[in-house]
Amino acid sequence: MENIRIYVEETEGEFREVEAPIDMGLSLMEILKASEYPIAATCGGMALCASCHIEVLEGDAYKEASDAELDMLDTLPVVSDSSRLACQLRLSEDMDGLRIRLLATEE
Amino acid sequence: MIHTDICIIGAGPVGLFAVFEAGLLKMRCHVMDVLPQIGGQLSEIYPKKPIYDIPGYPVVLAQELVDNLEKQIEPFNPTFTLGERVEKIERLEDGAFLLETNEGTQCQAKVVVIAGGLGCFEPRKPALEKIEHFEGNGIDYMVRNPDKYTDKRIIIAGGGDSALDWTIFLAEHTEHLTLVHRGSSFRGAPDSADKVLKLAEAGKITLHLNSQVTALHGNGVLNECLITDKTGKASKVATDYFIPLFGLSPKLGPIAAWNLNLDRNQIQVNTEDYATNVEGIYAIGDINTYPGKLKLILCGFHEAALMAQSAYRTVSGGKKASLKYTTVNGVQSF
């Protein structure tokens, strides 16, 4: 498989398709930043700042959060049941078709 | 008042190495950091994590790298102000800078180097309407002085260790304590979670699980919070204090008000000497940005070296620095 497709909510109900390679070991946060979405990702991918907080609207990617990630999510005032830190999602084949919403865009 | 050639804001690896590069050019440094110890996020957040991309070290633990840097800059006798946050920078008539911390410590320096990394870690604030109106008038983001809450009604929000610990500690002293947690269980230390549940069972505190504080009421001073649960049921709880404990998140802090050109909360610099738009102020390491920027410790080290050459001109009154190899000259301590 070459690339997968991720769908990012732009405005309510409207999605933009983002194509992402899966052979480079990138995280979802990295591909979102590269696609110029306004997420800070301040800590650089260590699950320390939650500034890449997203909600998975469709897809199974929320099943395997690590303890470090759950701990960080737990400190946030607002999370949903399918909240994730994009930096902790390593792009893989089974994420093809994932639909997400950004929850931590920069002010 | 501290007098120095260069005042470095940030005692992370890049700030520390800047002391070394400045020292080779005989410039004295004073280092200030909001954290109580040196090392920045390496010591504070991941001291035991291995780092693999420091040249010459196949692997080094974060704290080990900090310890080594400390040893490396020892010959240059840097001075430190730790546990204080630089609030103000002011330019004096002679072109030097006067810096002042939140504790009133003052430092006068010819050059300022901002090596602030991610910025300051500040309490995360819940998105509630008018929350800023009640800051200091019923809302506290951290518990500084527990005595303040004696015989008062307080509401704590959060599910992490600090929310649990403070709930246990304050339950005894307050008139009434309400703990509001978004989740249905606690991920904090099982021991603390257990104690909190027991306090609730015994009626010593009121526990709202699956709930959030959704509105704040009061005329100038907070007197009531609206607590809403997942099903949408809302209840009004009268209170004297609301303490949201949602952890810390990195913020640029006072730096944002220093007239520096910013791009997405990072300081813009040129790549010739990592100078900012304000003459005499440099920014190096994770806090700066320029085309092609990589947030790597090793890039910060490089930036520190170039910054020092440029800063020398200011510190020495216009002289050009000459490049000194440590293999030829060794390290001349002072």
ipTM: 0.70
**Mean pLDDT for all residues in chain B:** 93
Tell me, yes or no, whether A52 lies in a domain: yes
Q: Report CB contact under 8 Å: A40, B264.
A: yes
Helix, coil or strand: residue B125: coil
Tell me, yes or no, whether A107 lies in a domain: no
Tell me, yes or no, whether A59 lies in a domain: yes
- Please check the confidence at residue A69 and state whether its pLDDT lies above 70: yes
Can you tell me the distance from the alpha carbon of A83 to that of B144, in angstroms, rounded to the nearest whole number? Answer: 31
Question: pLDDT value at position B161?
Answer: 83
Residues 6+ apart with CB under 8 A from B109: B3, B4, B5, B6, B7, B30, B96, B97, B99
Q: Report CB contact under 8 Å: A71, B212.
A: no
- Please check the confidence at residue A61 and state whether its pLDDT lies above 70: no
The minimum CA-CA distance between A20 and chain B, rounded to whole Å, is 21
Q: What is the mean pLDDT of residues B271-276?
A: 98
Domains B2-121+249-329 and B125-246 share a fold: yes
Q: Which residues of A touch B250 (CB under 8 A)?
A: 42-43, 49
The minimum CA-CA distance between B82 and chain A, rounded to whole Å, is 22
Question: pLDDT value at position A75?
Answer: 79
The minimum CA-CA distance between A53 and chain B, rounded to whole Å, is 13
Question: pLDDT value at position A81?
Answer: 82
- Please check the confidence at residue A1 and state whether its pLDDT lies above 80: no
Question: pLDDT value at position A12?
Answer: 81
Nearest CA to B6 out of B21, B83, B285, B116 is that of: B21
Tell me, yes or no, whether A39 lies in a domain: yes
Question: pLDDT value at position B321?
Answer: 86
B124 has a chain A CB within 8 A of its CB: yes
CATH fold, domain B125-246, is FAD/NAD(P)-binding domain (3.50.50)
CATH number, domain with residue A46: 3.10.20.30
Tell me, yes or no, whether A29 lies in a domain: yes
In terms of CA atoms, which chain A residue is nearest residue B157?
A: A77
Nearest CA to B10 out of B271, B284, B278 is that of: B284
**Which of the given ranges, A38-52, A56-70, B69-83, has the highest pLDDT on average?**
B69-83
Q: What is the mean pLDDT of residues B116-145?
A: 89
Question: pLDDT value at position A106?
Answer: 63
Q: What is the mean pLDDT of residues B219-234?
A: 95
Nearest CA to B72 out of B64, B60, B61, B80 is that of: B64
Cα torsion angle, B312, B283, B255, B9, sign: negative
Residue A20 structure tokens: 């992402």
Give domain B2-121+249-329's CATH superfamily.
Answer: FAD/NAD(P)-binding domain (3.50.50.60)
Residues 6+ apart with CB under 8 A from B49: B61, B62
The secondary structure of chain B in percent helix, strand, coil, rounded to multiples of 5, reads: 30, 30, 40
Helix, coil or strand: residue B242: strand
The minimum CA-CA distance between B250 and chain A, rounded to whole Å, is 7
Question: pLDDT value at position B251?
Answer: 81
B253 has a chain A CB within 8 A of its CB: no
- Please check the confidence at residue A107 and state whether its pLDDT lies above 60: no
Cα torsion angle, B100, B136, B161, A80, sign: negative
User: pLDDT tens for residues B42-95?
Assistant: 988 788 889 999 999 999 999 999 999 999 999 999 999 999 999 999 999 999
Question: pLDDT value at position A98?
Answer: 93
Tell me, yes or no, whether A10 lies in a domain: yes
Which of A48, A70, A77 minimises the CB distance to B124? A77
Per-residue burial over B257-277, b if 16 or more Cβ lie within 10 Å, else e, is: ebebebeebbbebeeebbbbe
Half-sphere exposure of A88 (CA within 13 A, CB side): 26
Q: What is the mean pLDDT of residues A1-15?
A: 88
B50 has a chain A CB within 8 A of its CB: no
Tell me, yes or no, whether A28 lies in a domain: yes
Q: β-pairing, B29-33 with B79-82?
A: parallel
Domain ranges within chain B, ordered by starting residue: 2-121+249-329, 125-246
Q: What is the mean pLDDT of residues A19-33?
A: 93
Residues 6+ apart with CB under 8 A from B235: B226, B227, B228
Question: pLDDT value at position B46?
Answer: 82
Residue B165, H or E segment = helix B161-171
pLDDT band per the 50, 70, 90 thresholds, residue A47: confident
Q: Which residues of B touch A53 (CB under 8 A)?
A: none
Q: Report CB contact under 8 Å: A51, B249.
A: yes
Q: CA B12 → CA A44, B210, B311, distances in Å?
A: 16, 39, 20
pLDDT band per the 50, 70, 90 thresholds, residue B265: confident
- Domain range for A37 is 3-102
Question: pLDDT value at position B214?
Answer: 94
Which of B45, B125, B160 minimises the CB distance to A48? B45
- Please check the confidence at residue A99 and state whether its pLDDT lies above 90: yes
Spacing of C-alpha B332 from chain mean position: 33
The minimum CA-CA distance between B159 and chain A, rounded to whole Å, is 7
Prediction pTM value? 0.77
Question: Are the C-beta atoms of B61 and B50 separated by less than 8 Å?
Answer: yes
User: pLDDT tens for residues B145-176?
Assistant: 899 999 999 999 998 888 999 999 999 999 99
Can you tell me the distance from the alpha carbon of B33 to that of B251, in angstroms, rounded to the nearest whole number? Answer: 14
- Please check the confidence at residue A63 and state whether its pLDDT lies above 70: no
